[in-house]
Amino acid sequence: MDILKLIQGKKVYLDTNIFIYALEGYPAFNPFLTALFKAIDEGHILAISSELTLKPKG
């Protein structure tokens, strides 16, 4: 997970595919995504995304 160390303290853009992989539970990406979202929750990484990614239907 060296990439997480490289992006600590930085602002990163999360595209829709990150959320799709997380929600659908792709096994190959699960460990990385778990660590990524934990780092975001703990404030080590600032994540941004498109309003389209975050906007619920309706």
Token representation of residue 21: 């992989």
Q: What is the pLDDT of residues 1-53, one digit of tens each?
A: 589 999 999 999 999 899 999 999 889 999 999 999 999 999 999 999 988 77
Cβ–Cβ under 8 Å, residues 26 and 11: no
* Cα 14 versus chain centre, distance: 6
Domain boundaries, the chain: 2-54
pLDDT attached to residue 52: 79
Measured between alpha carbons, how far is 50 from 57 in angstroms, rounded to an integer?
15
pLDDT attached to residue 1: 54
Question: How much is the pTM?
Answer: 0.82
Higher pLDDT, 18 or 58: 18
